[in-house]
């Protein structure tokens, strides 16, 4: 299977994308028929990785992620940096190829790029943070991810996207109206949990992370 973007090597048909949720422990590592993509923040759980991603501005990265950005290859970032000659800019073509699509998290960029590169199958692990993380992860980022899961599973796409059963249950909600009270119960449970995160000011990374570099701290103070 050949790639469609410059700088991307030969690929397998199947792609495994790894997130930080509990199901990352189920990843089948070192499969010869699969490529592996990961985030530099999760380098500690990645046993192999064919493509690294860091899709945040350099100014908001903490010391550990800056250290990883200097050492992990190959690496996509949002732009090229003179002090990181090995870094490639994330392909801007995804915005032209998918106008109007939501890009709300690293997962959404990865799924869009995988689609454009021609992967026929994606296995997605470690989604748990979208239901247990910050208010942003549970709302804005989760909504964008659901869009891309739908694209991959759309009728006639010829593509497949697989989730571990534990993560699959996150999108398998009771049918509105047809299973009315069960759906009401599930939604209320979700909204109560979301309310707790908002009251605790766990809005996003700016409010929850520690040890920000000075630039990121200044940005956060304006929010």
Q: In the 8-state DSSP scheme, what is residue 222?
A: T
The pLDDT of 91-109, averaged and rounded, is 95
Task: Please report the pLDDT score of residue 59 as a whole number.
Answer: 92
Contact (CB, 8 A) for 136 and 204:
yes
Q: What percent of the chain has pLDDT over 90?
A: 56
Residue 7 in domain: no
Residue 183 maps to a domain:
no
Structure-block tokens of residue 197: 């995160």
C-alpha 204/C-alpha 52 separation (Å) is 22
Work out the number of other CB atoms within 10 angstroms of the CB of residue 223: 8
Question: What's the rounded Cα separation, in Å, for the pair 45 and 24?
Answer: 8
Beta bridge partners of residue 77, listed in sequence order: 54, 89
The pLDDT assigned to 77 comes to 97
Residue 206 has pLDDT above 90, yes or no: no
Percent helix, strand, coil in the chain, to 5, is 45, 15, 45
Residue 213 belongs to a domain: no
More confident residue, 90 or 155: 90
Is 196 contained in some domain?
no
Give a yes or no: residue 192 inside a domain: no
Domain presence at residue 93 = yes
Contact at 8 Å (CB) between 211 and 63?
yes
What gap in Å lies between CA 13 and CA 91, rounded to an integer? 20
DSSP 4: S
For residue 193, the model assigns a pLDDT of 75
For residue 122, the tally of other CB atoms under 10 A from its CB is 23
State residue 205's pLDDT score. Answer: 60
Count of domains observed in the chain: 1
The arithmetic mean of pLDDT across residues 34-45, rounded, is 96
Q: Count Cβ atoms below 10 Å from residue 212 Cβ, excluding itself.
A: 18
Query: How high is the pLDDT of residue 108?
Result: 96
Of the chain, the percentage scoring pLDDT greater than 70 comes to 84
- pLDDT band at 52, cuts 50/70/90? very high
Does a structural domain hold residue 195? no
Q: What angle do CA 186, 21, 68 make, to 5 degrees?
A: 150
In a domain, 204, yes or no: no
* pLDDT tens digits, 149-192: 999 998 677 899 999 998 888 787 788 889 988 888 888 887 88
Are 164 and 23 spatial neighbours (Cβ–Cβ below 8 Å)?
Answer: yes
Domain hosting 95: range is 14-171
Per residue in 59-92, is it b (16+ CB within 10 Å) or e — as a string?
ebbeeebeebbeebeebbbbeeeeebeebbebbe
C-alpha–C-alpha distance, residues 87 and 66, integer Å? 12
């Amino acid at each position: 299977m050949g790639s469609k973007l410059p700088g991307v090597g030969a690929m397998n048909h199947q792609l495994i994308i790894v997130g930080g949720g509990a199901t990352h422990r189920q990843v089948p590592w070192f499969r010869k028929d699969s490529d592996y993509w990961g985030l530099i923040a999760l380098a500690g759980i990645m046993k192999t990785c064919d493509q690294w991603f860091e899709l945040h501005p350099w100014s908001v990265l903490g010391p550990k992620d800056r250290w990883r950005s200097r050492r992990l290859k190959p690496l996509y970032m949002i732009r090229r940096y003179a002090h990181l000659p090995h870094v490639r800019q994330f392909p801007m073509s995804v915005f032209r190829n998918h106008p109007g699509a939501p890009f709300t998290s690293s997962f959404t960029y990865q799924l869009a790029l995988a689609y454009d590169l021609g992967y026929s199958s994606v296995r997605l692990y470690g989604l748990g943070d979208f239901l247990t993380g910050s208010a942003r992860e549970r709302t804005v980022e989760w909504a964008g991810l659901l869009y891309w899961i739908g694209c991959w599973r759309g009728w006639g796409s010829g593509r497949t996207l697989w989730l571990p059963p534990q993560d699959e249950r996150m999108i398998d909600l009771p049918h509105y109206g047809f299973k009315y009270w069960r759906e009401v119960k599930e939604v209320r449970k979700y909204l109560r949990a979301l309310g707790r995160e908002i009251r605790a000011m766990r809005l996003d990374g700016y409010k929850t992370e520690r040890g920000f570099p000075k630039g990121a701290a200044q940005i956060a103070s304006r929010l």
